[in-house]
Amino acid sequence: MALIDIVEVSRRTGLAASTLRYYEAIGLIEPLGRRGLRRTYDPVVLDRLSLIALGRAAGFSLAEIGGMLGPDGAFRIDRGALAARADAIDRTIRKLAALRDGLRRAALCRAPSHAACPTFRRLRMAALGRAARAKR
Amino acid sequence: MALIDIVEVSRRTGLAASTLRYYEAIGLIEPLGRRGLRRTYDPVVLDRLSLIALGRAAGFSLAEIGGMLGPDGAFRIDRGALAARADAIDRTIRKLAALRDGLRRAALCRAPSHAACPTFRRLRMAALGRAARAKR
DNA sequence: GCTTGACCTCAAGTCGGCTTGAGGTGGCAC
DNA sequence: GTGCCACCTCAAGCCGACTTGAGGTCAAGC
C-alpha cells in the first residue's frame, strides 16, 4: 500500500505534525522511512493513532498506552484491562452524576445564599471529604 | 470563635499546608494573623476551602473559583453558572458512558483481535474524530 | 537561656502532553 | 542550478496545581 507522509497523517488524524514527532520520540509510533527529510508512514499508523486517541479518551496516559501497543504494530490489549477501565469510567460517571444533581438542586435552592443551602453544604462537605481521602 | 492554625486547617480539610500557602499566594484564602510565624485562620476558612474543593471536583480551575469567591469571604455564585456547569458535566457523562459501553462490548467481542473487532473499530474512529474536531 | 523542631519564605522543580523557536536541509519549480 | 518553502532537529518553554529544598525564625520545653 502507498506510503503516506507526515502531512497526510496529520490531515487524516487531526493531530499536529509536532504531536506525531512527539509520539515518535516517546516510542508510540515510528515512520517507515523518509522522502527527503519528510517522514513517511505505513497507513497502518492511522489505526495505531486511532487506538492512541481512544486510549487517551478512556483516560489512559501515553505511557500506559505504550504498554498496550506491541512493538510490532499489533495491539495487545488485555480484555480484562478493558473491562477494568470500563469499570473505572463507570465510577467516575457516578461521581460526576452525583455532582451534577447536587449542582442542579443548588441552582434551584431557595435558601438566601449558597452558604445556607443545605444541599450545597452537603455537596461541599462531600468534596472536602474526597480531598481528605485522596491525601492518604 | 477561636482561631485555628494552619496545622488544624490542614488536618480538618486534608489539604497540605503547602497547598494552603499556595492558595493564599494566588488570593483564594487569607489568614487572619499569625501566632509566631504560624498562620491563624478564622474557622470560616473551612467553608471557603470546602467550596474550593467542590469547585475543583466540578471541573472549575482555581482561577475560575477565585472569580466566584467574594473578596469578603462571601460566596457569590451565579445560579445560572451552576446550572451551566451541571449541563457541561452532563455532556461529559454522556461521552464517558458511550466510551464505557464501547469498552465493555469490545471486552466481550469475539473477533480474533481488537484490530478486527467492529465495535472497537467504531470506537477508535470516534476517538480520532474527537481529536480532529478538537484541533479546530 | 539554649536547643529543638515545626513552621516560615522564596525560588525552583515536577508531571504530562505538547508547542514554539532558532537554525539546518532536501526536493521541486523555475 | 538555484531559490524557496516546508519539513527537519534539538532544546526550551508552557500550563495548572502543587511540592520540594535550602536556609531562616519563633515558641515552647528542659
Per-residue confidence (pLDDT) for residue B14, from 0 to 100: 94
> Residue A97 corresponds to which amino acid?
A
- Percentage of the residues of chain B whose pLDDT score is greater than 90: 43
Q: Range with the lowest mean pLDDT among A57-66, B5-14, B68-77?
A: B68-77
Of B45, B28, B68, B92, the C-alpha closest to A106 is B68
Q: What one-character-per-residue DSSP string does A39-59 give?
A: EEE-THHHHHHHHHHHHHHTT
Chain B residues touching residue A51 (CB < 8 angstroms): 114, 124
**CATH number of the domain at A4-68, out of 1.10.10.10, 3.40.50.300, 3.40.50.2000, 1.10.1660.10?**
1.10.1660.10
Please report, for chain B, the start and end positions of each structural domain, with discontinuous segments joined by +: 4-68, 79-135
Q: Is the CB of A76 under 7 A from strand D?
A: no
Q: Return the closest nucleotide (C1') to the Cα of A60.
A: C16
The answer to whether A41 touches A24, Cβ cutoff 8 Å, is no
Per-residue confidence (pLDDT) for residue A41, from 0 to 100: 97
Per-residue confidence (pLDDT) for residue A136, from 0 to 100: 47
Low-confidence ranges of chain A (pLDDT < 70): 1, 71-75, 133-136
Q: What is the mean pLDDT of residues B22-32?
A: 96
CA geometry: angle at B115 spanning A88 and A58, to 5°?
20
B135 and chain A in contact, CB less than 8 A = yes
User: Nearest residue on chain A to B68, judged by CA atoms?
Assistant: A114
As a whole number of angstroms, the distance between CA A20 and CA B115 comes to 21
B50 and chain A in contact, CB less than 8 A = yes
As a whole number of angstroms, the distance between CA A55 and CA B37 comes to 48
Whose cell is 515512520? That residue is A31
Q: Hey, which residues 64-103 in chain A have their CB within 8 Å of chain B?
A: 74-75, 77, 79-80, 82-83, 85-86, 89-90, 92-93, 95-97, 99-101, 103
The answer to whether A40 touches A3, Cβ cutoff 8 Å, is yes
Per-residue confidence (pLDDT) for residue A80, from 0 to 100: 86
pLDDT at B134 over 90: no
Range among A107-116, B45-54, B110-119 with highest mean pLDDT value? B45-54
Chain B residues touching residue A86 (CB < 8 angstroms): 100-101, 103-104, 107
pLDDT at B135 over 60: no
Chain A residues touching residue B124 (CB < 8 angstroms): 47, 50-51, 53-54
Residues 20-59 of B with CB under 7 A from strand C: 21, 37-39
Reduced DSSP (H G I as helix, E B as strand, rest coil) percent helix, strand, coil of chain A, to 5: 65, 10, 30
Enter the pTM of the model: 0.84
pLDDT at B114 over 50: yes
Q: Is the CB of A130 under 7 A from strand D?
A: no
The answer to whether A25 touches A17, Cβ cutoff 8 Å, is no
Contact state of A115 with B79 under an 8 Å Cβ cutoff: no
Per-residue confidence (pLDDT) for residue B72, from 0 to 100: 65
Of B55, B38, B27, the C-alpha closest to B4 is B38
pLDDT at B90 over 80: yes
Length of chain B measured in residues: 136
Q: What is the mean pLDDT of residues B65-71?
A: 84
Per-residue confidence (pLDDT) for residue B63, from 0 to 100: 93
Sorting pLDDT into bands at 50, 70 and 90, what band is B125? confident
Q: What nine digits make up the cell of A23?
A: 509520539
Beta bridge partners of B40: B5, B33
Phi-psi region at B5: left, alpha or beta (left = phi > 0; alpha = psi -120 to 50): beta
